[in-house]
Amino acid sequence: MARNSNFQITYLCYKHTKNPYFNMEITILEDLDVNASDFYNVLHDEIDNDMAKLKKSVEMLKNLRLTSAEIEVETAAMYHAELFFNIEQLKQLADEVKALDENKSDTVP
């Protein structure tokens, strides 16, 4: 009795979605003939494609994390600059009030 050499391969691969994190997806390669001359080539092509997608997803995730870290640092720098500016304005205002108080006390008999 001849055995059917066609079968399907089910495996998990990483899929990059709008979510920057990885999601697992079941991939099914159907009707692969193990006796075909290009069986290993087809299988390796699928694996290579999945590896390329995984590397791209990792690179995108790394870039997103670097960008978010840069934005966080820039936001903190802007916040501190604004605080420093407000402190300098308060110092000037305090100096003006002090000068007005000194002038007021000089004119009062």
User: Where in the chain are the domains?
Assistant: 6-107
Cβ atoms of residues 9 and 28 within 8 Å: yes
d(CA 84, CA 91): 11
Out of 13-27, 33-47, 75-89, which region has the weakest mean confidence (pLDDT)? 13-27
Instruction: Choose from 49-53, 58-62, 96-100, 101-105 the range with maximum mean pLDDT.
Output: 96-100
d(CA 27, CA 13): 7
Residue 41's pLDDT band (boundaries 50, 70, 90)? Answer: confident
Q: What is the mean pLDDT of residues 17-24?
A: 52
For residue 43, pLDDT over 90 is answered with no
pTM: 0.47
For residue 7, pLDDT over 90 is answered with no
d(CA 102, CA 26): 80
d(CA 6, CA 29): 11
Q: What's residue 9's pLDDT?
A: 52
